[in-house]
Amino acid sequence: MAVRLTGNAGMLLLGIYLILVGIGGIAPLPIPPIVNAVIALLAGILILIGR
């Protein structure tokens, strides 16, 4: 059973970002803040350009 990701890349990144932020609020994650910032920026840019 293969999973196809044919949706919006911006929404996918937004979902990943929100999951990381949510888990980070519950338990401390060793993810550098720059990674969160880059994911958030990419998600926002891709959503705005419609990808």
Contact assessment for residue 11 and residue 47, using Cβ atoms and an 8 Å cutoff: yes
Cβ-based burial of 17 (10 A; exposed 0-12, middle 13-18, buried ≥19):
buried
Banded model confidence at residue 2, pLDDT cuts 50, 70, 90? low
What is the value of pTM for the model shown?
0.72
Mean pLDDT, residues 9-38 taken together: 87
Mean pLDDT, residues 21-25 taken together: 87
Contact assessment for residue 47 and residue 10, using Cβ atoms and an 8 Å cutoff: yes
